[in-house]
Amino acid sequence: MRVWNIARSAEQIASRLGNDLGVDDRIGLIKYWSFDEGFGQDVLDRSNSGHHGRLGSTAGGDMNDPAWANGGLAVLTGTFSPSHQGTSVENLGGGAYKITSTVENTGTDPGHFIFDMEVYDAAGTQMNQQYRDGVTLIPGETRDFDFTWTIPGEGTYRVAVGLVILRWSGVYEWINEAALIEETPPPPSPEVVVYSGALGEGWASWSWEASTTFGTGIEVAYTHEWGGLYLHHDAFDTTGMSMLRFSISGGASGGQQLQVLAFDGDSMALPPRMFSLYLPEVEAGVWHDVAIPLIDLGIQPGDFMTGFVVQGTSGAIEPSYSIDDIRISS
């Protein structure tokens, strides 16, 4: 017997007559009694609505108890003991977690129960509840219950599991802390600060044929056409870092034609790259953010490097410019 809150066509009814319903067939299903339990006095509402029926005149044995077609007993004399065997949590990414609980009937009789899973935040506020009402287990049977939950934010969440008597009339077992979900912020991306108002730790200027003034930014004035702003550091690991980033202003005139080249872990110069590939024009009095992939400079992921140089390329002394907020990061 099935009760729906939506209209079903004759074709839909005929296609499932005498057959169980799949997940997609249960939309709009509000009551479902299949009368196929085969034992006991409970008729389960398999819609998960919890409107279970009871056969017979009383909860004990009497002449009105049902006679199951399979010969099953209406009144069982052994024990039904659903037992929590463990709960695991799998991080699916994006804040979603799969929670899996295992339950075994360790008793001697079959029976029915409600599986209840609840999640609480650190303050004890219930954040989620999901349950399966009318679960049947025969003796020795083990079953997994899977739920997916997306957390509302970072923090620690406690998963509680209840094995509940039908009609929410009592508890077989309650596990207050079946598992913990801990969502912590990701570790900060690795970053090396080269210059931000001052040279970063371990960095030094090995510049040549250039006047450099270190202040809010670095003011660079070349004194030779092949002068270079060279910022050096002992060899460091670039694992997790992929970009050389900085801000540059063309000063009073702009129009500088520049290139940048990196030095590997052995202080060997690598092939240069033209600025124009990343910033078409260095404008006068305008600050631009520039990001150059380390791989373009010959630094492969995880390579060591010891610094970089910014040079002119026109064959003439380039106009003065300013550079600031230099860092190597992801």
Paired tokens of 256: 């500088």
pLDDT on residue 237 = 96
Q: Which of 155, 183, 211 represents a domain boundary (last residue)?
A: 183
Share of the chain above pLDDT 70, in %: 98
Decide if 74 contacts 40 (C-beta within 8 A). Answer: yes
Q: What is the CATH number of the domain that holds 169?
A: 2.60.40.10
Decide if 209 contacts 222 (C-beta within 8 A). Answer: yes
The answer on 137 and 57 residing in a single domain is no
Using the predicted structure, report yes or no on whether residue 35 has a pLDDT greater than 90.
no
How many domains, the chain?
A: 3
Task: Supply the DSSP string of 134-153, one letter for each residue.
Answer: EEEE-TT-EEEEEEEEE-SS
Lowest-pLDDT range of 25-29, 167-171, 215-219, 286-290: 25-29
CA separation for the pair 132, 145 (Å, rounded): 9
The answer on 225 and 176 residing in a single domain is no
The answer on 248 and 132 residing in a single domain is no
Report field, pTM of the whole predicted structure over 0.85: no
The answer on 169 and 209 residing in a single domain is no
CA separation for the pair 50, 138 (Å, rounded): 20
Q: What is the CATH number of the domain that holds 299?
A: 2.60.120.430
Question: Residue 160 is part of which domain span?
Answer: 82-183
Q: Which of 141, 167, 183 represents a domain boundary (last residue)?
A: 183
